Every structure is written in C-alpha cells, then in structure tokens.
C-alpha cells in the first residue's frame, strides 16, 4: 500500500477539541449550545447514530435531548413537536434522523425546521444559500469531507473532483462546496455511462453511491485523493465503504477508510453547526 490514510477519527478528535473550547467560551457568556435529536421508528443503525450524536454533545460540553417516537407517529404530531422546538430558547439545533417511516413526508418535515436551527443543513434556504455561494448551515457529511481535505492539504483550487452519487444530503452539496473552493466538478450518478472514464481523470474522487466496494484501483489516477462516504456491508457482513480499499490504496495518493473516515466527521460537523447556530445568537 502506498497511499496516506486520511484518518477521520483523529481529525474528528482534533476538531472536537476546538469546538469544546468555543462551547466553553460561549457558555461563559450565558449561552449553552443545545441540540435536539428526533428519532422516529426502530431502524437499528439510526439508533446507533443518534446515540453517538448525543454522546458527542456530552464530549464537547453541549446540552442535548434525544426524543424517540414509535414508527406510527403521525406526520402532524411530528410537525407540531418541531414547531415547539423552533421556539425553545434552550435549543439551537434540531435534527430529525433519516430515514423516516414511509408515511411521513420527509420534505415537509425538513422544511418545518427553522432554517436558523437546521443543523443538518437540509432546509431549502440553507441548500439555496450554499448553491449561491453564501453558505449558512452546511450539510454535515460534505462539510466533514472538506475538513478532511483541508487536514490532508489536498489542493482543491483548479483540481478536478469527481463525485459518484448525486443525493441531496451528500453528492449535490459536496459538488457545491468543491465548486466554491475552486475545483472543476463532475457529478456522476447511477446512470453515468463509463464511470471509470470519469473517475480516472480525477485528482479527487468522492464515492457516495451506496454500493459496496464499487470503486476499484483500476478506476483511479495514480496519486489521486479518494474519500469514501459509503457505509455498506460486504458479503461476510463486514462494514465497508463504496471503495475497494485494498486495490485503491495501491494507486491513490491518499485514501479515507471505512469505518473511521467520514462517519466520525459527519457527527463532528453536526456539533460545529450547532455551535455556529448558537454563536449566531
């Protein structure tokens, strides 16, 4: 293996130290940043993610509340709860864990969160602000990827970045952040013809397509930086990303692992957004 490992766990720990000192300073001024996390239903992975988010709040000295509701919670009851949190002075960030049960309209829920407390950065106002180059609260996963590229000192201005996966929560905001930082961006999707033709031209590859190990070493330019956003299980049930780590690490200049890469940064940037929302007060 020749690639440098971009260690999300240690970048997350360093970033959390910075967040902690800003939380302490803000608390001394009488504002104690607070996050409300809402979980509807019993998706086992979501349970792990929300409890890790609440635990991380404790690590940096933030106030948090975890609200868990059964899968048959009505959409109107959820909207009413969000409206009440929008007016709660102790809460600076509101997060509704996705996915939601199918009977609840995800768009309606995300738009119900006050844009000033939308620490996921999914509200139309925050997505639009990012798109027009005036970022407010940013989507946590791509925000975390930007931090990882910064720590790795990956040149972005003038680089060609290829993103595989065009979701609203990762691919599209990722494209906007890289564009804003001066990259030339190619945004691929599941129907892109000859995907390898695109990825082979990239200085930076962001894999966020949700298919285990689909980006292989022969698809990567020598020396490229490869960030793996995927969270999948391989045939043996082992956690893996969208990148075939062993073959890609032979050719890439730098690579992020799964686990221990983007995941811990997603949670850390949620803390950063909550802090920034409280600081804006």
Ligand X SMILES: Nc1nc2c(c(=O)[nH]1)N[C@@H](CN(C=O)c1ccc(C(=O)N[C@@H](CCC(=O)O)C(=O)O)cc1)CN2
Q: Which residues participate in the annotated binding site?
A: 165-167, 231
Nearer to ligand X, 23 or 169 (CB): 169
Q: How many of the other CB atoms lie within 10 Å of CB of 79? A: 17
Q: How, if at all, do strands 225-228 and 254-255 pair? A: parallel
CA dihedral 41, 44, 50, 52 (to 10 degrees): 170
Residue 205 and residue 236 in contact, taking contact as beta carbons nearer than 8 Å = no
Binding window for ligand X (CB under 6 A); candidates: 151-159, 176-184, 217-225, 261-269: 261-269
Nearer to ligand X, 115 or 264 (CB): 264
Nearer to ligand X, 48 or 80 (CB): 48
Nearer to ligand X, 122 or 252 (CB): 122
The candidate with the shortest Cα–Cα distance to 143, out of 270, 276, 16, is 270
The candidate with the shortest Cα–Cα distance to 185, out of 169, 170, 167, 198, is 198
Q: CA end-to-end span of the chain, whole Å?
A: 48
Binding of residue 240 to ligand X (CB under 6 A):
no
Q: Which residues 13-42 are close enough to bind ligand X by CB under 6 A?
A: none
Among 118, 120, 203, 276, interactor with ligand X by CB under 6 A: 120
Question: Residue 141, exposed/middle/buried by CB under 10 A (0-12, 13-18, 19+)?
Answer: buried
Binding window for ligand X (CB under 6 A); candidates: 23-31, 72-80, 90-98, 205-213: 90-98
Residues marked as catalytic: 53, 97, 120
We find the least distance from the C-beta atom of residue 148 to ligand X, in angstroms, to be: 12
Binding window for ligand X (CB under 6 A); candidates: 62-70, 160-168, 209-217, 256-264: 256-264
Chain contacts with ligand X (rule: CB under 6 A): 48-49, 95-98, 120, 140-141, 169, 231, 239, 258-261, 263-264, 266-267
């Amino acid at each position: 293996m020749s690639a440098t490992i971009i260690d999300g766990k240690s970048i997350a720990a360093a970033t959390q130290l910075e967040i902690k000192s800003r939380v302490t300073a803000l608390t001394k001024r009488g504002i104690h940043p607070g996050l409300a996390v809402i979980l509807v239903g019993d998706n086992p992975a979501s349970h792990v993610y929300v409890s890790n988010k609440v635990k991380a709040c404790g690590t940096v000295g933030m106030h948090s509340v975890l609200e868990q509701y059964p899968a048959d919670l009505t959409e109107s009851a959820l909207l009413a709860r969000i409206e009440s949190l929008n007016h709660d002075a102790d809460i600076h960030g509101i997060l509704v864990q996705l996915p939601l049960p199918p009977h609840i309209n995800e768009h309606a829920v995300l738009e119900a969160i006050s844009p000033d407390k939308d620490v996921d950065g999914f509200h139309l106002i925050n997505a639009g602000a990012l798109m027009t180059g005036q970022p407010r609260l940013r989507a946590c996963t791509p925000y975390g990827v930007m931090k990882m590229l910064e720590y790795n000192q990956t040149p972005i201005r003038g680089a060609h970045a290829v993103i595989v996966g065009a979701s609203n929560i990762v691919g599209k905001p990722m494209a906007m952040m890289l564009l804003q930082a001066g990259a030339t961006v190619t945004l691929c999707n599941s129907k892109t013809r000859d995907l390898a033709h695109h990825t082979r031209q990239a200085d930076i590859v962001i894999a966020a397509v949700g298919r285990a190990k689909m980006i292989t070493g022969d698809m990567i330019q020598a020396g490229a930086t490869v960030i793996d956003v995927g969270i999948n299980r391989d045939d043996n049930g082992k956690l893996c990303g969208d990148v075939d780590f062993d073959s890609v690490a032979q050719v890439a200049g730098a690579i992020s692992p799964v686990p221990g890469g983007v995941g811990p940064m997603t949670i850390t940037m949620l803390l950063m957004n909550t802090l920034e929302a409280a600081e804006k007060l």
